[in-house]
Structure 1
Amino acid sequence: MPAGPTATSDEIAGLERGYFALPGGTASKVSYLRAGDPDGRRVIFVHGSPGEAGGWADYLLHVPPGFEYIAIDRPGFGASNPDDAEPSLKRQAAALAPLLQQRSGKWPILVGHSLGGPIIARAAADLSGRIDALLILAGSLDPELERVHPMQPVGEWWGVRNMLPRHLRNANRELLTLKGELDVLQPRLQKLTLPVTIIHGTSDTLVPVENVAFMRRHLAGTKPLTVELLPEQGHFIPWERRDTIERALTVLARR
């Protein structure tokens, strides 16, 4: 199955798109896609690196009754500013803050894939009390498992960087600095207490399944902490296991 949604470009273009501005910082315009019940339980989807909001289109085109789904273009990707990368997990997490709205006494559930995993974990640490639960899909949270490929620094050379498409050059810069960002996040994970569900493929060659052991140790204070390992599943869980993710969301929404 391809690493992307089955939705057509016309279907993605037909989704409602919104924008908001962030005070200060470099992400002056943040773009998102929205679908579902505007008064329903809000679920916010956060893509990895690279990625964009349209990657979650299959979910936004099939929103269950009583839910509102929002997918964000993270700063540096899609229709969001800045043009350059925003490698700070703190500032990436802060970009979610305007979307954290309470509905009928319930705060949003955050879903993060790959690098979106540490971003939503950082959001839970920084914006405590405004997030009800996390769903981490193939999340890259263990700093000791981060490796810089020998060719990645080449992507920062001026001539090479200028030839790369925006999404690739920004993804490269995010990944080059990710280990340091995860080192800062690590001690804060132990203070999280909200419900967390982790879904990871045992055959993930991009974000090793060993990340799960790290998350079990450092998210031990979350209640409950649920882990689902998918045998022979690779990295692209959002597009290959939508049924699994939707079931997990249903369970989290009932807590």
Structure 2
Amino acid sequence: MSSKKTIEYFSKSNSAFKDINYKISEIHQIHYIETGDSTKPTLFFLHGSPGSWDAYKTYLSDSDLQKKYRLIAIDRPGFGYSNFGEAEDLNTQANLILPFIQSKNNNQPITLIGHSMGGPVAVKLATKKPELFKNLVILAGAIDPKAENPENWRPVLMSKPIKYLIPGAFRISNEELWWLKEDLKTMKSELHKITSNVIIIHGTVDSLVPYSNVAFMEKEFINAKKIEVLPIEKADHFIPWSHYEIIKKSLLSLED
């Protein structure tokens, strides 16, 4: 979403917002949108693949959420205005995003919310700095390496010159999803580090990220303070939009 369209969108809901590029290093930046009350607990949103911050624009413009929280949605590394076109693996993404989150720490509880590919990014962050995150909300997240199919056609699309013929964010998406299975294998041994409250929301007929991921997380998050599973019957992968009210209600009921 361009800056002009962002202004137009939030003006319709009379929402005050910040549209900022945060410098991580000489070559990396994180673009983010912020709404809500800067003194309140933070909801930190991570989009899927491909995607950008505006996957969560309805949440960021919701007056009920704005009253209770500060809401921040980023363009993940490689997408939107966060070094678009440079795909990064799971560990690198987390290492880039973590200092940004730390820079926004207002000494209030932080909740990570990740949909699809944003799910493993949120989990990776929670393994790196467990004490920083009060809650972890995983929306149709791909966490179980055994549930990821090899999809051997992806490397073909990564070869030159074919990769340069793939439009827009789909090239970055193809690369990070190809790396994901091995990234998840590596992360499996780190899942015991998670100590936050965990809420898992998943459609029971998800055709892109199998529901079996739920049982995997229940088994592997052995040190989570609490695990709550909210299955959405007959729902597919796109629950942040198709079941907005269910997710909003869950966010409003988070522990402070």
Q: TM-score, normalised by structure 1?
A: 0.89
Residue 246 of structure 1 corresponds to 248
Aligned residue runs from structure 1 range 10-159, under 5 A: 10-11=8-9, 15-23=17-25, 28-63=28-63, 64=65, 65-87=67-89, 89-97=90-98, 98-100=100-102, 101-103=104-106, 105-159=107-161
For the 8 Å contact 1:106–1:132, the answer to whether it is kept is no
Deviations 1:101-123 (A, max 9, x none): 443x4231010001111111110
- Secondary structure of 2:132's partner? coil
Percent identity (aligned): 33
Shift of 1:82: 5.0
1:231 to 216, 230, 233: 233
Q: CA deviation at 1:210?
A: 0.7
Per-residue CA shift, 1:202-245, capped at 9, x if unaligned? 01000000111111100132121001111100000111111111
Partner Cα separation in structure 2 for residue 150 and residue 130 of structure 1: 37
* C-alpha separation in 1, matches of 2:24 and 2:105: 19
What letter corresponds to residue 232 of structure 1 in structure 2?
K
Counterpart in the other structure of 2:172: 170
Q: Which amino acid aligns with 1:76?
A: G
Size of the aligned set, in residue pairs, is: 243
2:74 and 2:186 map into 1 onto residues whose CA distance is 24
Following the alignment from structure 1 to structure 2, what is the Cα–Cα distance between the partners of residues 23 and 178?
Answer: 25
Does structure 2 conserve the Cα–Cα contact (< 8 Å) formed by 1:84 and 1:166? Answer: no
Q: Aligned partners of 1:187, 1:59: CA distance in 2, in Å?
A: 33
Letter in 2 for 1:204: D
Q: CA deviation at 1:181?
A: 0.4
Amino acid at match of 1:242: Y
Measured in 2, the distance between the counterparts of 1:13 and 1:77 equals: 24
Residue 13 to residue 78, structure 1, CA distance change in 2 (3 Å): farther
What letter corresponds to residue 45 of structure 2 in structure 1?
F
Give the Cα–Cα distance (whole angstroms) in 2 for the partners of residues 250 and 13 of structure 1.
Answer: 24
> Which aligned segments of 4 or more residues in structure 1 are displaced greater than 6 angstroms?
none
CA distance in 2, matches of 1:204, 1:147: 14
Q: Deviations over 1:171-211 (max 9, x none)?
A: 00001110110011101112212100000000100000011
Q: Which runs of 5 or more structure 1 residues have no equivalent in the other structure?
A: 1-7
Paired residues of 1:74 and 1:80 also in contact (CA < 8 A): yes
CA distance in 2, matches of 1:234, 1:34: 29
Q: What residue in structure 2 maps to residue 218 of structure 1?
A: 220
Q: Which amino acid aligns with 1:72?
A: I
Give runs of aligned pairs for residues 164-203 of structure 1, distance below 5 A.
164-203=166-205
Q: Distance between the aligned counterparts of 2:185 and 2:252, measured in 1?
A: 32
Query: In proportion to residue count, which structure has more helix?
Result: 2
Q: Structure 2 length as normaliser, TM-score?
A: 0.89
CA distance, structure 2, for counterparts of residue 38 and residue 207 of structure 1: 34
In the TM superposition, residue 13 of structure 1 has moved relative to its aligned partner by 9.0
Q: Is the 8 A contact 1:114 1:137 kept in 2?
A: yes
- Once the two structures are superposed, residues 11-56 of structure 1 have per-residue CA deviations (whole angstroms, 9 ceiling, x without a partner) of 16985311111136x5x11101111112221110001111100111
Judged with a 3 Å threshold, the aligned counterparts in structure 2 of structure 1 residues 82 and 51 are, in CA distance, closer, same or farther, namely: closer
